Amino acid sequence: MRTLSLRDGRLLPALGLGTWLSKPDAVRQAVRRAIEVGYRHIDCAWIYQNEAEVGAGINEAIRAGDVRREELWVTTKLWNDAHAPEAVRPALERSLKLLGLDYVDLYLVHWPVAHKAGVTRPQSPDEFISLNDLPLSKTWSAMVSLPESGLAQHVGVSNFSLSKIDAITDAVGAAPDVNQIEMHPFNAQADVVAGLKERGIVATAYSPLGSSGRPPGMKNEGELDLLGSGAVATIAAAHDASPAQVLIAWALERGTSVIPKSTNADRIAQNFAADKLQLSDEDIASIAALDQGARYVSGDFWCPPGSPYTVEELWA
Ligand code: A2P
């Protein structure tokens, strides 16, 4: 399986299992299945509210002798209500307890957005904290002290623009190891991928299949159908592969990590097999033509009237 090298030389398995929107009662089996077919990278987050079940799957696989802990790469994420420096380590400890693990391989700041302590999802604008009042550099200072504790071996960010990454790197004197962002052919973000590479930061693609399983309330009107794209289907047919495999192979081919979510046993195996699919230069060129900077996860939910956040500033 392809790996990507971090600055300290540690290798991140490029293809991982995503668990956003994986139902708690399905994700334990999904994780076991993934490990059985060869995945060695599991991505989760406190806010997905299934860390206990993800951890149960990991621990069952370890107990069954399918894998050793040190062979696995486990990522989880700091939620927005724990950006205060003194809240960072307790939040990680809470995730570790749920996961039933002694450490994670990677801990990410989930969003460049802060909520008041204990506010999981703000119901009113005053439940946010502005970045002026709680700068990302303060959170990042607390994050970079975690590897020394052994509780998280690496630290990084998610949904951060290059300018936000530069600002926290300059302020703290240490860059993230990883930035996890939405990437797929409709939102290729080639400039961000290149910028992260220059900075020695691994890029991980979330929603690589278009997250078609999002509930209707989270979908945008007239949303593009990534798995149904004609161009992707044509390439898939030529390789006797599925559209999902083409999307995953594309992400791997461009040197990013990628975390397709599935709780279906066959699709978990099918997605893992995409590592073997070799796309041609023509395939890559025809996929490049699909880019239109279209995000499925626009971030507008952080920006209701009166919020200290705007969509432009979020991605700027
Ligand atoms: P399921 O869990 O039932 O397999 P993303 O990774 O972009 O968030 O997309 C996840 C969505 O894509 C889920 O709804 C998932 O459903 C579906 N999915 C995952 N793998 C495949 C596949 N190989 N073919 C079609 N749909 C897939």
Q: Running along the chain, 316 residues long, what does each successive block of 10 average in pLDDT?
A: 96 98 97 98 98 98 98 98 98 98 98 98 97 98 98 98 98 98 98 98 98 90 94 98 98 98 98 98 96 96 97 96
Contact 251, 202 (CB under 8 A): no
Identify the active-site residue in 48, 107, 206, 309.
48
Q: Which helix (H) or strand (E) holds 159?
A: none
| Distance between CA atoms of residues 153 and 92, nearest Å | 12
Cα-based distances in Å from 247 to 52, 92, 156, 271: 29, 32, 24, 9
Tell whether ligand 1 has an atom less than 6 A from the beta carbon of residue 242.
yes
Q: What is the pTM of this model?
A: 0.98
For residue 55, the model assigns a pLDDT of: 98
For residue 103, the model assigns a pLDDT of: 98
Ligand 1 centroid – CA 39 distance (Å): 16
Ligand 1 centroid – CA 212 distance (Å): 7
Q: Which residue has a Cα nearest atom 8 of ligand 1?
A: 211
Q: Is 48 a catalytic residue?
A: yes
Residue with tokens 């995730």: 95
Q: Which residue has a Cα nearest atom 16 of ligand 1?
A: 262
Contact 141, 167 (CB under 8 A): no
Tell whether ligand 1 has an atom less than 6 A from the beta carbon of residue 204.
no
Cα-based distances in Å from 183 to 119, 190, 236, 291: 28, 9, 19, 10
